[in-house]
Amino acid sequence: MRKSLAALPAIREAVQAYSGVDAAENMVREIVENSLARTVGAFQRVTEALFERVPGSRSIHRRKNVFQSIAEGSELWRVTIGKRYDDLLTPAEMADLTRFFQQRHLLAHCEGIVDQEYITKSGDQTYAVGQRLVVRVEVVHRTVNLVSKLTDELRKLM
For residues 132 and 129, give the distance between their C-alpha atoms in angstroms, rounded to a whole number.
Answer: 9
pLDDT for 66-92, tens place per residue? 999 999 999 999 999 999 999 999 999
Q: What is the mean pLDDT of residues 36-55?
A: 96
Instruction: Tell me what pLDDT residue 58 has.
Output: 86
DSSP letter, residue 157 = H
Confidence of residue 61 (pLDDT cuts 50, 70, 90): confident
Q: Is 156 left (phi over 0), alpha (psi -120 to 50) or beta?
A: alpha
pLDDT at 158 over 90: no
Average pLDDT (103-131) is: 96
Alpha-carbon span 93 to 86, nearest angstrom: 9
Provide the number of structural domains found in the chain: 1
Confidence of residue 31 (pLDDT cuts 50, 70, 90): very high
**Is the pLDDT assigned to residue 50 strictly greater than 90?**
yes
Judge contact between 30 and 12, C-beta under 8 A. no
pTM of the model: 0.92
Residue 131's domain comprises: 2-157
pLDDT at 26 over 90: yes
Single out the residue of 105, 135, 139 nearest to residue 122, CA to CA: 105
